[in-house]
Chains A and B, each alone.
Chain A
Amino acid sequence: MTPATLLVTVFFFVPALILFILSLTDLASSNFSEPWHFIGLLNYQRMFSDRFFPKILGNTIRYVTLTLIFFNVGLALLLALLTSYINRRAGFFFRMLWLLPRITPSVVYIVMWRRMVQQAPFGIINQFLGWFGLSQQPHLLNEHPWLFVILANGFVGASFGMLIFSSAIESIPKDLFTAAKVDGASTLQIIRDITLPMLRWPLLFVTSYQTLSLLVSFEYILLLTNGGPGLFTTEVWALTSYKRALSTYFGTNQWGYGAAWGLVLVVIAITASVIYLRVFRFDDLVQEPKIDVL
């Protein structure tokens, strides 16, 4: 209990506070040895007036919405419906396969994707295109960076929703399906009229939870494109914050400036988590102890 409190304090609360303070300073590796200064909201001013600010904001929105719609919710729902529809063991098998990307080390996983998209004759996709008699493409990642950023993230992200939705589908009383079948409903009608309405809450839950996850995640983008190719093509908000502060990409670690970018997301993330915990009534899961003695 106490050690847990200590660790959570040292690595959550203190950092959150530090992040806030940092964002008000000009602390950077270039002037680390010199005294640093409080510079008020200058970092924030600089952030909003950054030439690439609109680009990065747009990228973030694009990344989150497209991955969410097509994969983390869309494909997830499709997979859940399909794997519940078929034979139980087969469904289980496909779900297991879909878990693979999630448990594969991110570096290994991205190495696979990088090999996929290389130019002929090395790239796997180009090889398949050749086999099917289609014209081979130059370096695909440079041509369609967004496509592959979203694919790589989406193949990992889909399994979460898939698992949540499948267990929700399995918990729908079987009588409902039997009754609908007796009433002469077709499979599609059953999905539309029974399954989907029953999935309303899981859908909302997965959507909000994954929005938050995508908003702050950047590991796969960092590994796959590092925000490129070129200037800020696939750079998202969280990645900017990280690179400004912690990578030598811009020649210097601008901790203060990076913290300002990060803090905006932290505020959004905390607000969002508090709201969704309210909406999903997580506090209902909290029961009172039924033993008084210690």
Chain B
Amino acid sequence: MTTRFETEQKSGLLQRILTALPYVVLTISIVPIIIGFVWIIVATFSYRTQGILPINAQGKIGGLTLQNWTFLLDAKIWRVTFNSAMIALGMVVGVGFLSSLTGYALSRMNFRGRKTFLGMTLVLHAFRPELLLIAIFQVLLFIAGIPIAGKAFGFNTVGGVAIVMVSLELPLGIWLMKGFFDNISWDMERAALIDGASRFRVWWEIILPQIKPGIAALAIFNFISGWNAYLIPYTFTIGTKVSNLSVFLNQFSSDTSPMGWNQVAAVGLFQLIPILIFFIFTQEALLNIYGGGTKGGA
């Protein structure tokens, strides 16, 4: 960056220290995180660990093994992985579709109630929904009582968890999408209308292709929140059939569980893998959405 300045008077050594100092501070500050990740990877492949060192049965360094991964043979893990994937995909598709349509309408169309809806989105996107879980619990109990919808979206269903998560994420999604749409040239949309397209067609054929990077970023963001979700699945489901990876993992990581730390680490790494893959391939998009996400993508 350009905020670097060399001052002539300073001696070469002092200068070099000053240049290196930020790197040193940054590296030290990040150490706990790195160590955490090192531990989880080492632990996954070892018989036991002491600190971050792998230990064999004799108490010496060593004892690398794959036995911690035997959990993959258990059908339960695939059940909860499937549920996690469904919640994540539900978030990607549900929030993506609904917020790109609603965001478009709010950004670009004149209709009655637009102002009110915008104001609502604005307040809700800043509002944290954790507080409403108690009441949402009652809503889900109520939905569970409805004949057909209850089986799909009621209390203690994967659908219920997904739909709650989609709803709670919607205001942020709509606000972000609106920000993306705001930046699109009006003339282009006018041109398409004159060329003979309907509003829906303009949205689909002309506008959406322009904001592909934004949609992708939102999709990644939603996938990660869905895949990682803990609190909502934990609160609204009972038992492995409908719970997800996070809940499953937490159950077995509690101190009373028979599962050893190393198996816990293996399950944890298993859950981390898709996240890390996203992380590696979509860094720029992630930085943008986690940073700009709240100030309206504008």
Which chain A residues have a beta carbon within 8 Å of chain B's beta carbons? Answer: 1, 3-5, 7-8, 10-12, 14-19, 22, 75, 78-79, 82-88, 90-92, 94-109, 111-116, 121-124, 126-128, 151, 155, 159-160, 163-164, 166-167, 169-170, 174, 177-178, 181, 186-187, 190, 195, 205, 209, 212-213, 216-219, 222-223, 238, 241-242, 245-246, 255, 258-259, 262, 265-266, 269-270, 273-274, 276-277, 280, 282-283, 285-287, 289-294
Q: How far is the CA of A226 from the CA of B72 in the complex (A)?
A: 29
B193–A293 touching, CB < 8 Å: yes
Tell me, yes or no, whether B73 is within 8 Å of chain A by CB. no
A167 contacts which chain B residues (CB < 8 A)?
291-292
Known: A18-B139, A190-B3, A246-B133. A97 touches B123 (CB 8 A): no
Q: Is the CB of B186 within 8 A of A291?
A: yes
In the complex, which of the residues B33, B108, B120, B265 contacts A100, with contact meaning CB atoms closer than 8 Å?
Answer: B33
Which of B109, B134, B170 contacts A7, CB < 8 Å?
Answer: B170
Q: Which residues of the partner chain A approach B261 to less than 8 Å between Cβ atoms?
A: 115, 122
Q: B265–A111 contact, CB under 8 A?
A: yes
The CA of A113 and the CA of B105, in the complex, are separated in Å by: 44
Chain B positions 181-200 with a Cβ under 8 Å from a chain A Cβ: 182, 186, 189-190, 193, 199
For B124, list chain A residues within 8 Å (CB).
Answer: 8, 12
Return 16 A-B CB contacts under 8 Å, by A number. Answer: A7-B163, A10-B167, A11-B136, A12-B124, A78-B25, A103-B279, A106-B230, A111-B40, A122-B261, A216-B130, A217-B130, A262-B132, A274-B123, A286-B122, A292-B110, A293-B199
Known: A107-B268, A127-B52, A238-B130. 7 other contacts (CB 8 A): A7-B98, A10-B139, A86-B4, A108-B271, A111-B265, A163-B292, A164-B295
Residues from chain B with a CB closer than 8 A to the CB of A84 are: 1, 3
Give the Cβ gap from B175 to chain A, nearest Cβ, in Å: 9
Could you tell me which residues of chain B, from 220 to 272, have a CB within 8 Å of some CB in chain A? 224, 227-228, 230-231, 235, 245-247, 249-250, 253, 261, 264-265, 268-269, 271-272
- CB-CB under 8 A for A107 and B230, given A3-B98, A16-B135, A213-B128: yes
Cβ–Cβ contact B131 & A216, under 8 A: yes
Report B-chain residues with C-beta under 8 Å of the C-beta of A222: 231
A273 contacts which chain B residues (CB < 8 A)?
Answer: 123, 126-127
Question: Given the complex of chains A and B, what is the CA–CA distance between A266 and B124 in angstroms?
Answer: 11
The reply to whether B29 and A75 contact each other, CB–CB distance below 8 Å, is yes
Q: Are B5 and A15 in contact (CB under 8 A)?
A: no
Q: Which 6 A-B pairs have the closest CB atoms?
A: A127-B51, A163-B291, A15-B135, A11-B167, A112-B36, A18-B135
Q: Which residue of B lies closest to A195 (CB)?
A: B3
Q: Is the CB of B170 within 8 A of A266?
A: no
B interface, CB within 8 angstroms of A: 1-5, 7, 18, 22-23, 25-26, 29-30, 32-37, 39-40, 43, 49-53, 98-99, 101-102, 105, 107-111, 117-120, 122-124, 126-139, 163-164, 166-168, 170-171, 174, 179, 182, 186, 189-190, 193, 199, 224, 227-228, 230-231, 235, 245-247, 249-250, 253, 261, 264-265, 268-269, 271-272, 275, 278-279, 283, 286-287, 290-292, 294-296, 298
B265 A289 Cβ-Cβ under 8 A: no
CA distance A91 to B122 in the complex (A): 32
A105 neighbours in B (Cβ, 8 Å): 227-228, 230, 245-246, 249, 268, 271-272, 275
Chain B interface helix/strand/loop/mixed: helix
User: By CB atoms of chain A within 10 A, which of B18, B33, B135, B250 has the most?
Assistant: B135
Chain A residue nearest to B52 (CB atoms) is A124
CA distance A177 to B130 in the complex (A): 43
Knowing A106-B230, A155-B32, the reply to whether A205 touches B133 (Cβ < 8 A) is: no
Neighbouring A residues of B253 by C-beta, 8 Å: 107, 111, 114
Are A19 and B134 neighbours in the complex by a CB distance under 8 Å?
yes
Q: How far is the CA of A114 from the CA of B36 in the complex (A)?
A: 10
Q: Is the CB of B98 within 8 A of A238?
A: no
On whether the beta carbons of B131 and A111 are closer than 8 Å, the reply is no
**CA of A215 to CA of B265, assembled, Å:** 30
Q: Are A100 and B131 in contact (CB under 8 A)?
A: no
The answer, among B32, B118, B135, B164, for a CB contact under 8 Å with A116, is B32
Bound CA–CA A35/B141 (angstroms):
17
Residues of A within 8 A of B43 (CB): 115
Q: Which residue of B lies closest to A95 (CB)?
A: B287
Q: Which residues of A contact B107 (CB under 8 A)?
A: 287, 289
Contacts of B129 in A (CB 8 A): 11-12
How far apart are the CA atoms of A125 and B49 in the complex, in Å? 13
| Nearest chain A CB to B188 CB, angstrom units | 11
Q: Do A97 and B5 have beta carbons less than 8 Å apart?
A: no
Minimum CB–CB distance for B255 against chain A, Å: 9
Known: A8-B120, A174-B2. A269 touches B235 (CB 8 A): no
Q: Which residues of A contact B286 (CB under 8 A)?
A: 96, 99, 103
Could you tell me if A177 and B3 are in contact, using CB atoms closer than 8 angstroms? Answer: yes
Question: Once bound together, how far apart are the Cα atoms of A94 and B7, in whole Å?
Answer: 26
Task: State the CA gap A18–B119 with chains docked (Å).
Answer: 22
